[in-house]
Amino acid sequence: MQIGSIKIDIPILLAPMAGVTDYPFRVLCKEQGAGVVYSEFVSAHGIIRENIKTWQMIRFTDFERPIGIQIFGDSPEVMGKAARMVVDKFSPDILDINYGCPVPKVTKRGAGSAALRDLCLMDDITTAVVESVSEVPVTVKMRAGWDSKSIVVPEVGPRLEKIGVKAITLHPRTTKERYKGSANWSLIKALKESVSIPVIGNGDVKEPKDVIRMFEETDCDGVMIGRSALGNPWFFKEAIAIYKGESLPVSPNINERAEKCLSHLNQMVEFHGERVGINLMRKHYGWYIRGFNGASAIRKALVTASDKDEMVDILETIN
C-alpha cells in the first residue's frame, strides 16, 4: 500500500486510540511488526497554544516510522495552523484528521465525528490542512455517519479525494452506535468502490484471521487494528504471519505476557515519569493480566499498588 509518497510494506496498522497509543505502546506494536503506528488524537487548539502536555503526546522516534500524527478540531484556521506546526516541529510521515471520535465531549464542540453532520465544514477543515502541509500526505479517519439515517460514506469519499486526501480509514459504525452492535464492513467495500485512493478498514477485527477476512470481503488496501491490540501487541505478529501465508507463531505464555507487561511499565515510567507512568499503566493491567487462574487477584493488586517497585514485585511473581 502507498499513501502519497510513503510506501507501506505491511498494510496492517495500529489505530490511534486516546489514552493508549502513546510512545511506549506504539513501540511495543512496532516491535511486533505494525506497518504504521498512529499517535493518540491531539487537540489542534492545544498545539497552537504550544501546550507542553500536547507536545509530549506528539513526540516520537525514528524507530516508529512510518508514523502518523492525528489531530482534531472544529476550526479550519486552527486545524491548518496546527498541522503546519506539527510538520515543522516533528516531521511525521503522515498527518491524519480525526472525523471518527464519537465521544460527546469532543463532538459537542463540533470536532471528531461531528464534522459528518456538516460536510461543508468537513470540506473546509480538510482543505485547510491539505493546503497547509502540501509536502506531507494527509489522511482521514472517519465513521459511517452521525446515525443510521445519515450514512455519508459514498458521498464523502470522492469529496475527500478531490480535496487531496491520500487515504481514508473507515470505522463503519455511526457516532450514535459508539462501539455497540456490529461494524458494517459492506460500507468499507462501498467506500473502496467510490474512490481511487487507498481505503483502510477498521472495526471488529477481533482475531488475526479477521484481518484476512476484512481484506477479502471489502477489497480494502489496509486493515487498522484498535482494541484487539490492547494488552496484546503480539496481535500484529500473528496477523502478519497469516497475511504472508506463514505458520502462526506460538502464542505467548503467562510468563511472557508478564514480562511484556513489565517492559511496558518500565517504558511508561521512563517516558512519562513515575507518578504519571504508573497511573497510566493501571488500565493496561486489565488487558494484559487475564485468562489464567488467579488473574483477578493479581490485577487488583497491580491496580492498587502504590509505586513502581510494588508493581514490579507483583509482576515478577507471575509464572
Residue ranges of alpha helices (H) inside the chain are 23-31, 44-48, 52-58, 76-90, 104-107, 119-132, 153-163, 185-194, 208-218, 234-243, 254-272, 274-288, 295-304, 308-316
- CA atoms lying within 13 Å on the CB side of residue 174: 11
Nearest-angstrom CA–CA distance, 47 and 182: 35
Nearest-angstrom CA–CA distance, 38 and 69: 6
Catalytic, out of 101, 120, 220, 261: 101
CB of 29 closer than 8 Å to CB of 11: no
CB of 97 closer than 8 Å to CB of 129: yes
Q: Closest Cα partner for 157 from 181, 188, 179?
A: 188
Nearest-angstrom CA–CA distance, 79 and 48: 9
The one-character DSSP state at 251 is P
Nearest-angstrom CA–CA distance, 175 and 283: 24
Residue carrying the nine cell digits 469519499: 157
Nearest-angstrom CA–CA distance, 122 and 135: 21
Counting every residue written for the chain, the total comes to: 319
Coil vs helix vs strand at 164: coil
Q: Closest Cα partner for 118 from 165, 154, 150, 162?
A: 150
Concerning whether 101 is annotated as a catalytic residue, the answer is: yes
CB of 32 closer than 8 Å to CB of 235: yes
Nearest-angstrom CA–CA distance, 111 and 103: 10
Question: Active-site residues: which are they?
Answer: 101
